[in-house]
Every structure is written in structure tokens, then in C-alpha cells.
Structure 1
Amino acid sequence: MRNLLEFLAKYNHWFLFVILEVISLTLLFRFNSYQGSVFFSSANAVTGKVYEWDAAVKTFFNLTKINQQLNTRNLYLEQTVRKLSEQIKSNTGDSTRLQRAQMEILKDYKLIPAKVITNSIDKRDNFITLDKGSADGVRKDMGVACGNGVVGVVYMVSEHYSVVIPVLNSKSNISVTIKKRGYYGYLHWTGGAAELAYVDDIPRHAHFRLGDLVETSGYSSIFPPGIIVGQILHVYNSHDGLSYRIQVRLTTDFGNIRDVCIIDNSAMEERINLLRSAEDSLKIKQN
């Protein structure tokens, strides 16, 4: 204790200098808007870089598992494409028809690849940070998906980073449909297990089975139709008894998500905006 007191007494002027510097910098950045904004921007840039380095380290140590998943999925996709090509060729004699159909579907969509640098699954309102921003063409309200299915919607965008509201967020509200059944509803997450979500407002007269796939409906300017969401696990009555609520096992593994694609669906957005303009024009004429 005596040595500590002697040390503090010997270098007390240095401690006083550091304390005064901290106080002056705090006053400078807190009560001067320009300096405060510069500090905030710099801090965000530094934080973003730190998160990016942290994500890079985690990705490196998960490469083995990710490669195994990619190899398995590639094998499945190769088998599926081969079977479909053989079936189309046997029915029509044209093995390139499927390829042309796929190109026709995807021609209006630009995909922006991005990496996840922060992610959470244990909160009521989870968020995902991506390493792409406005400089890369990312805008608010763009859809985000991965190889296994839907991820979420872009919520905030800076120059080099963007924040996504994933399915695992109480604010998430995605229009979906039961594949090949034609019934529509809205996907919600109510907390708890990261692999389970719910679809509300399925009509009582709907016919479907456990195990049916759920996919995006394409009824908004965010997601094109047909992106996989999950598989029906259970069916419940809604609170008012007028519709069904179905429990869905999500195909996206949010606890191990690393690479995603941001969907630039400009063509569909233009179509939706044109339709809204037409509806507004009719309302004005009626008034």
C-alpha cells in the first residue's frame, strides 16, 4: 500500500493531466454538434471494422462445417437439376427448356452478395448487420435471403453497412403462401425457439397438410414469389376462431448464418408503385 501511495504521489501530475483531457474531450464532443457528429461517424466506422474482423475470424473457424453444408446442398441441387432435365427432355425433347425458364424468372432480379458481421437470436427483437451498404446499391426495404431460405428485410443503410430485420424479430411481417395450395398469410415470430415461426390468417376453408412447404407469395415489392420459408409443423385455431394459425419450421438456420444475398427487386417495386398510382388516381376521380 505504501508503494502504491508513493507511486501515485510521484506521478500525480500525469494522472491529473489524463483526467483533465478526458473531461475536455467529453465537453467538446457533447456540446459541439459538428465535433460530435465527426466522433459518432468515426466511432461507427471503427465499430463496423471490429465487427467485420470478428466475423472474419468466426467464419474462418467455421469453414469446415460450412463447406460440408455447401457440398451436401450442391449434391442435392445437381441431382434435382439432372432429374428435372431428364424429365423435361423425355416429355418435350428439349433439355434446355428448364434453363430458359429459370433465366426468365431471374432476369429482373439483381442479387447483391453480403456477409453477416453481427447477428443475434436470443432477443425479442433481433437484428443482423451486413457488410454491404448504399455504396454497393443496397436500399431500405430490400429483401434478404440465403441458400436455405428467407432471412429478412433491410431496415437501415449506411454507406458500407446495412442492418436487417430478420424473421426472428417481433416487427417482421412477411407475406407467404402455402406452396401449390394458393392460400396466403403473414409470417410472424413470437420469440422462443429460433427455428419456429407462425403464419396467421389462413382461411378456415383452406386445404393443406402437415409437411407442406411455405414460400414467399410475391404480393409485395420486397420478395419475389417462390423463395422457401419453411415447412408446416402444426395447425392451431386463431384466437377468434375465424382462421387457422400454422406453426412453421424455418429452413434458415439463423444461428449459423454467414453468407446472404440482398435482392434488388426494382422491377417488381416499379410494378407495385404503378398499381398504387392507378388506385390513387381512381380514388381522386371518384371523389
Structure 2
Amino acid sequence: MRNLLEFLARYNHWLLFVLLEVIGVVLLFQYNSYQGSVWFSSANAVAGKVLSWDAKVESFFSMSKANQELTQRNLYLEQQVKMLSGQLGEATKDSGWVHRNQLSLLRSFKLIPAKVVSNSVDRYDNLLTIDKGSADGVRKDMGVACGQGVVGIVYMVSTHYSVVIPVLNTSSNISCRIRGRGYFGYLHWNGGDPRLAYIEDVPRHAHFRLYEWVETSGYSSVFPPGIAVGKILHVYNSPDGVSYRLQVELATDFGNLSDVCVVDNEPMLEQIDIMRSARDSLKLKDGK
């Protein structure tokens, strides 16, 4: 308190000067219309600029949520296109169109939007980390996709983060089929170019063309059918000569991946449990 009093006593003339200046400015702008209008306009300009900056900052930070919503919406729209294609195929009796009802299948899945926080594309054992974990409903062996197509499978889960084995990992193995054809194989990456992968074990009697699309088959509990994988670029014979090996250009750009969705596979797990129970019942019945 003593220091404060000494400070006021030492600089009392400056404090008095500032106080008189403030009073003078207030009286000037309050009782003079011209000066008042100038102050009002300047104040509005400053306030407007501050509000504009605030809106831009808020818009920047809301971009993340918008990107997540767009990623989720892209997945829905992709399935909707397939459903409409199926309806058109049914109307035109063209068996080459994709089957319908895939939109309703995807809608039965819960999609968990997530942000990629760590990613690599230049290793044989690439891993990807997302910012959602068990607290958000993510579990091991769930599928991960983005608006472009398939991404990978959840490998490890903590409370708030998860590690994903992406397509660009030599241990990744995802069941796929040729869109509109029904022939299936397994997606595998051998390293090298992150834009290219291979579909192994495609039957020799399969009929297809270059640049046709490959998509998830739905034959596992990880992905629903119809999520884009890539386009066929080249066809090779397998090393044993009993099947085809297809080189595909991946739909997902792993070098520029930021927003993904984790696919909750609980409905499929229920279907698989029912099928297993039915098989077990048949075995018991046959045993009797």
C-alpha cells in the first residue's frame, strides 16, 4: 500500500493529465455532433473488424468438424449411387449393374468420424494412428474408410487413440470383388508405389475388363460390400498359373489422408454369430 501511495504521489501530475484528457474527449464527442459521428463510425469499423477476425478464427477451427461430416456423407453418397445404379440395372435388365440395397446395408452401420494424427507411406509395415479410441466406441478389427474408399483395419485401441493397419502394409489382406462381376480375390500391397496394390487369387474363369472398379466384397465382418478399392490397370498370371493377379490403382490417396470413418461392424458380427450358431446346430443334428 505504501508503494502505491508513493507511486501516486510521484506521478500525480501525469495521472491528472490523463484523467483530464479522458474527460475532455468524452465531452468533445458527446456534445459535438460531427465529432460524435466520426467516433461512432470509427468504433463500428473497429468492432466490425474484430468480429470479422473472430468469425474467421471460428470458421477455421470448425473446418475439422466439417471435413469429418463430409467424409461420412461421401460414404453414404457412394452407396446411394450404387443403389440407384442397381435400380437402373433392374429397370433395363442389365445384369452388369451393381446390386441394390447396399445403401440400406451401410446405414445399418455406425460410422465414427476420426482424424488421422500419424501416417506413413514409405515403409513395408506402414501404420496409421487416428484420434478416436475405446471411449468413442472403436474396437479392434473394425474397418476404416474415407470418402475415396477403403483405408484399413483397426489393429490396436487405447482410450482416445487407435492404430490402424492400412492397405499400405504388407500384412494387410482384405477381401474384394470386381464390381458388377462377382469374382473376388484378396487385396495385397507388396511395397513400393503407394498408389498401386494387387488383387490376388482371382479365378481364371473370371471375365472383366481393364479400368473396371474393385470394391469390398462384404464376405468378412470388417467392411460392408461396395466400398471402393481401386481400378484395374493390368492383369498378370499368378506364380502358380492357376489364377489371375490384378494390379489396381488405389482409390484412396494415402499421402493426403486426413479424415476417415471407422465402420462399426456390430450388425455383421451378429449375422456371423447367427450363422455360426446355425452351423453348430446342424452339426449337432447330424451327429444325432
Q: Is 2:105–2:224's contact at 8 Å kept on the other side of the alignment?
A: no
2:108 is aligned to 108
The SS at the match of 1:200 is strand
1:145 is aligned to 145
Matches within 5 A, 1:138-287: 138-284=138-284, 285-286=286-287
Structure 2 CA distance, aligned partners of 1:153 and 1:258? Answer: 16
The SS at the match of 1:239 is coil
Per-residue CA deviations over 1:62-93 (Å, capped at 9, x if unaligned) read x8xx99xx8xx98xx79x97xx69x97xx8xx
Partner AA of 1:253 in structure 2: D
Unaligned runs of 5+ in 1: 1-59, 92-99
Q: Is 1:119–1:126's contact at 8 Å kept on the other side of the alignment?
A: yes
Structure 2 CA distance, aligned partners of 1:246 and 1:203? Answer: 11
Structure 2 CA distance, aligned partners of 1:272 and 1:105? Answer: 15
> Deviation at 1:248?
0.6
The SS at the match of 1:201 is strand
Structure 2 CA distance, aligned partners of 1:171 and 1:101? Answer: 32
Partner AA of 2:164 in structure 1: V
Cα distance change, pair 179–263 in 1 and its aligned pair in 2 (3 A): same
Is 1:134 aligned with 2:134? yes
Partner AA of 2:137 in structure 1: G
Partner AA of 2:257 in structure 1: I
Structure 2 CA distance, aligned partners of 1:107 and 1:254? Answer: 25
The SS at the match of 1:106 is helix
Partner AA of 2:247 in structure 1: Q
Partner AA of 1:154 in structure 2: V
Matches within 5 A, 1:115-130: 115-130=115-130
> Deviation at 1:102?
6.8
Structure 1 CA distance, aligned partners of 2:280 and 2:122? Answer: 42
2:32 is aligned to none
Structure 2 CA distance, aligned partners of 1:107 and 1:256? Answer: 27
User: Structure 1 stretch 103-112 or stretch 113-122: which is displaced more?
Assistant: 103-112
Matches within 5 A, 1:20-35: none
Q: TM-score, normalised by structure 1?
A: 0.65
Cα distance change, pair 103–168 in 1 and its aligned pair in 2 (3 A): closer
> Deviation at 1:273?
2.0
> Deviation at 1:266?
1.0
Structure 1 CA distance, aligned partners of 2:221 and 2:113? Answer: 19
- Aligned CA RMSD, in angstroms, stands at 3.0
Identity value in percent:
69
> Deviation at 1:274?
1.8
> Deviation at 1:272?
1.1
> Deviation at 1:275?
1.2
Per-residue CA deviations over 1:210-257 (Å, capped at 9, x if unaligned) read 001000000011000000000000000001100000001001000010
Q: Is 2:214–2:232's contact at 8 Å kept on the other side of the alignment?
A: yes
Structure 1 CA distance, aligned partners of 2:103 and 2:243? Answer: 38
Structure 1 CA distance, aligned partners of 2:182 and 2:170? Answer: 26
Partner AA of 1:146 in structure 2: C
Structure 1 CA distance, aligned partners of 2:237 and 2:108? Answer: 39
Q: Is 1:213–1:228's contact at 8 Å kept on the other side of the alignment?
A: yes
Per-residue CA deviations over 1:112-133 (Å, capped at 9, x if unaligned) read 0000000000111100000000
Cα distance change, pair 156–234 in 1 and its aligned pair in 2 (3 A): same
Please identify the structure whose Cα radius of gyration is greater: 2
Q: Is 1:108–1:265's contact at 8 Å kept on the other side of the alignment?
A: no
Q: Is 2:114–2:261's contact at 8 Å kept on the other side of the alignment?
A: yes
Structure 1 CA distance, aligned partners of 2:152 and 2:205? Answer: 29
User: Structure 1 stretch 269-278 or stretch 245-254: which is displaced more?
Assistant: 269-278
Unaligned runs of 5+ in 2: 1-59, 92-99
